[in-house]
Amino acid sequence: NAGVMQNPRHLVRRRGQEARLRCSPMKGHSHVYWYRQLPEEGLKFMVYLQKENIIDESGMPKERFSAEFPKEGPSILRIQQVVRGDSAAYFCASSGQGNSYEQYFGPGTRLTVT
Amino acid sequence: AQTVTQSQPEMSVQEAETVTLSCTYDTSESNYYLFWYKQPPSRQMILVIRQEAYKQQNATENRFSVNFQKAAKSFSLKISDSQLGDTAMYFCAFIGGINFQGAQKLVFGQGTRLTINP
């Protein structure tokens, strides 16, 4: 049973470009969460999605950031017009229905904005 | 809002020693879970141990055990017979408000950097 997959593992973008981060949940999981980890800090919740629905986006910056989890395909975290402060590790986690407390993490995507 | 506090930014012990990492949390929830995650240099988040708030018995996983003090809102991690491979960042985390739809967010502490010296 494959774990949570994230790609790319490393992404370099210049200021003003767009960044797209992908997450494929564990097989059978329908809940996806995105977390951001700034250097030397803990992970901070960004958004929680189920298939085709955003359930909780209370941790998502109001501008430039968006997330989706389509019926088919991976979840996408999109950052438009990136700035240096967006440089961080972005982790995706997934859980199954009724097991929300068991979140399994992907390896993360390290975004560097130059 | 729930908060998780780890008051030890860094710790260092010799191999084979026992080390305890501290964590306190704040919540008004009655039904919640607490976790310790390990993040080695690879940055992969690895679940070390989990504790359900309604269980009085402290969770154990091999060399890892917790001291869960619900009234004091304290959740410390004890690593016995520490090994070089235990060197990592350790994060305490909380998830509360579990309902039948599941899926609440994990709230993490700031982390403790643990170094095991040979």
Print pLDDT tens along chain A (114 aa).
579 999 999 999 999 999 999 999 999 888 999 999 998 888 999 999 998 899 899 999 999 999 999 999 999 999 999 999 999 999 999 988 766 678 899 999 999 999
Beta carbons of B108 and A42 less than 8 Å apart: yes
| Chain B residues closer than 8 Å to A93 by CB | 45, 106
Beta carbons of B111 and A110 less than 8 Å apart: no
Cα A23 to the center of its chain, rounded Å: 7
| Chain A residues closer than 8 Å to B106 by CB | 33, 35, 43, 45, 93, 103
pLDDT tens column, A57-68:
999 999 999 999
pLDDT above 90 covers a percentage of chain A that reads 75
Secondary structure (H, E, C), chain B: CCEEECCCCEEEEECCCCEEECCEEECCCCCEEEEEEEECCCCCCEEEEEEECCCCCCCEECCEEEEEECCCCEEEEEECCCCHHHCEEEEEEEEECCCCCCCCCCEECCCEEEEEEC
Beta carbons of A105 and B106 less than 8 Å apart: no
* Of residues B93, B113, B97, B96, the one with CA closest to residue B37: B93
Gap from B29 CA to chain A (nearest CA, Å): 14
